[in-house]
Structure 1
């Protein structure tokens, strides 16, 4: 039997990194699971792209101005970083790239004594990080190389046993301000479509199944929205409406009308902030669609929400704090106030 090519061994090393990442994340206790998961998932992604580039005959080395491979001081070849390979592999608006970029940045901002709360805050993105790897792995190397059958779905309690809105609010209150602001700034740079993509932030509805059990039943089944029939989609739309209406009385307690935002921000800034300035701000930061948009609900939900009942936009406390933080910088203030679409 002919020896395996080098890229195959790199691919197996990639899969081993991902297996380790999931094992460390799912272990009991609270000893740096998130940091370990990010580190090993990053290595898994790096080796996955290296294996793909090698198999495709593409370059994985850092070269000098004359096109020669370069070495580290210890003599090893210098390889392209994960960020460099991502830039070559993904299109700019690929949600998988946005998810990877998020974790590359988050890794250096984790404060270990708050790691459990940070992990809860980014749980959906963590799940997407893993699912995106599996999707890309199968896309590039086929079903035979998949790791999905080896990994188990983690058991969890807090999101089911606690009131969801209260649980999220509690978690956010315990995350260090610097991390929250970094996440907020990262999200503010995403389009609403990209931020809502499941490949960036994986979100699910858990609906207990109470029908009769059959031999074909699975404990948990994932169904893609595009695979649902019109009748099933209608039921899901009803479920989403029920959940949204149930949460609105809680979530909207902290929302503000535009005039209230103006009043709050103006009181904090040492420079003018009027209704016109607020309009400039939401346009500049892209937190809601323009007047007359086909879909008025496409907002950056951390900052702004569309109230369908009253057909108006309401804003969050996070939007107020974001504006105060951003507009306190003279250059940002000037850029916002002079911005034209």
Structure 2
């Protein structure tokens, strides 16, 4: 802790400053020789003495000093620490934030990643923790846990930091930033929920939260520290292997979601159950529709992909995008109960058809999973498991398929394991 300047030092510093600042031309080195009998520091001792005792800065950086400062800033923007430069704690946290965010993106975009959401959540929350630490430390705001006397609480020899959620609340304030804070909060919940668990089914379901979180992170970086610290320029739009022509993508997503543990499903359900104003805030959750476009002959596209803010979507597309969020859902959702299916199939196929027969047919035709596996839907063209009802509903296409499959008694027996009995038989 720095000592309090004495009255004598303050008086001497004021006297030296007045002699140097009065236009007499007396140099700092000359004043040092007159005062301390040594001018070998070439004015640096004078600068330090006046700054310490009066709080006045007397050094005037040269153009060379400005250039060095600019070069150091460029080196830090590239993620490195300039050799010989003083290490500032908030700048170290800023570099850690960018490095952790880029590593999170690398894991997410790696097609061979086997622990995508878990690793991304861990690294992304770490990135936010470092970023808000940098913000608070740069502004001189408290980021530590303190006791009743205001003294930092130690863990071993280290000062305890506030939690990431608390830090975000202190660094990113205001109603206009609610979506940002809520998004980080969901990633903290996900990080805690997936720790030590392998849940690949989660990857496709958290994309809206991940996309918003990344854009929020980039915006804070640029707004608070300048465009040279952005991470977006290091990235490209990832290529897709499915989604544009695969009709089974939606059913796969639904099936994967239903296989998640209840507590993880609860986190996702809570995210989707947020107030309407939060769901419409792209800083909380951003759903993006990819629309394949072939440019006209002789023209090349301006960019690979376009990201249009929700408020700027053309009116002719707004209704479509409201219904088709990521992938087109079936226009006619399954709405027939098993009893409805059984009655209709019996009437049209002409065979007695029981509940047990129906379940066997569902499994043999790949619409429901084998016995002993978690209840889910395997083909959303024909059925959907409604968790709130704890049962399946079936589509007209499923009824039509069964009637077609039961065209012969042999096929009926193959699918149900029971000899076909005509409906008119006693």
Asked if TM exceeds 0.5, the reply is yes
Q: Equivalent residue for 1:199? A: 283
Offset, 1:60 = 1.3
Match of 1:11 among 85, 94, 99: 94
Q: Equivalent residue for 1:237? A: 318
Offset, 1:248 = 5.5
Aligned counterparts of 1:219 and 1:147: Cα–Cα separation in 2: 18
Structure 2, gaps ≥5 residues long: 1-67, 69-84, 338-384, 391-426
Q: Equivalent residue for 2:305? A: 220
CA offset digits 1:58-86 (Å, max 9, x no partner): 1111111100112112x011112211112
Q: Equivalent residue for 1:76? A: 158
Q: CA RMSD in A?
A: 3.0
Q: Equivalent residue for 1:52? A: 135
Match of 1:85 among 154, 167, 187: 167
Aligned counterparts of 2:110 and 2:321: Cα–Cα separation in 1: 33
The 1:183–1:236 alpha-carbon spacing in structure 2 relative to 1, beyond 3 Å, is: same
- Aligned residue for 1:105, secondary structure, equals helix
CA offset digits 1:83-121 (Å, max 9, x no partner): 111222234671111111111111222276652211111
The 1:243–1:86 alpha-carbon spacing in structure 2 relative to 1, beyond 3 Å, is: closer
The 1:58–1:112 alpha-carbon spacing in structure 2 relative to 1, beyond 3 Å, is: closer
Offset, 1:217 = 2.1
What TM-score comes out, normalization by structure 1 length?
0.66
The answer to whether the Cα contact below 8 Å between 2:118 and 2:195 also exists between their aligned partners in 1 is no
Larger radius of gyration: 2
Aligned counterparts of 2:330 and 2:114: Cα–Cα separation in 1: 36
The answer to whether the Cα contact below 8 Å between 1:30 and 1:116 also exists between their aligned partners in 2 is no
Q: Equivalent residue for 2:215? A: 131
Q: Equivalent residue for 1:268? A: none
Match of 1:99 among 179, 183, 207: 183
Offset, 1:39 = 0.9
Aligned counterparts of 2:198 and 2:302: Cα–Cα separation in 1: 39
The answer to whether the Cα contact below 8 Å between 1:114 and 1:175 also exists between their aligned partners in 2 is no
CA offset digits 1:156-187 (Å, max 9, x no partner): 33433433532332222332333213322443
The 1:52–1:105 alpha-carbon spacing in structure 2 relative to 1, beyond 3 Å, is: same
The answer to whether the Cα contact below 8 Å between 1:53 and 1:59 also exists between their aligned partners in 2 is yes
The 1:118–1:47 alpha-carbon spacing in structure 2 relative to 1, beyond 3 Å, is: same
Aligned counterparts of 2:101 and 2:135: Cα–Cα separation in 1: 16
Aligned counterparts of 2:95 and 2:288: Cα–Cα separation in 1: 30
The answer to whether the Cα contact below 8 Å between 1:32 and 1:112 also exists between their aligned partners in 2 is no
Q: Equivalent residue for 2:257? A: 172
Structure 1, gaps ≥5 residues long: 257-315, 322-341
The answer to whether the Cα contact below 8 Å between 2:97 and 2:131 also exists between their aligned partners in 1 is yes
The answer to whether the Cα contact below 8 Å between 2:289 and 2:324 also exists between their aligned partners in 1 is no
Aligned counterparts of 2:154 and 2:270: Cα–Cα separation in 1: 36
Offset, 1:209 = 1.8
Aligned counterparts of 1:23 and 1:126: Cα–Cα separation in 2: 13
Q: Equivalent residue for 1:42? A: 125
The 1:102–1:249 alpha-carbon spacing in structure 2 relative to 1, beyond 3 Å, is: same
Match of 1:142 among 208, 212, 226: 226
The answer to whether the Cα contact below 8 Å between 2:153 and 2:160 also exists between their aligned partners in 1 is yes
* Pairs aligned (count): 255
Offset, 1:129 = 1.8
What TM-score comes out, normalization by structure 2 length?
0.54
The answer to whether the Cα contact below 8 Å between 2:136 and 2:143 also exists between their aligned partners in 1 is yes
Higher helix share: 1
The answer to whether the Cα contact below 8 Å between 1:61 and 1:78 also exists between their aligned partners in 2 is yes
- Aligned residue for 2:317, secondary structure, equals helix
Q: 1 or 2 for the larger relative contact order (CA 8 Å, sep ≥6)?
A: 1
Aligned counterparts of 1:254 and 1:7: Cα–Cα separation in 2: 58
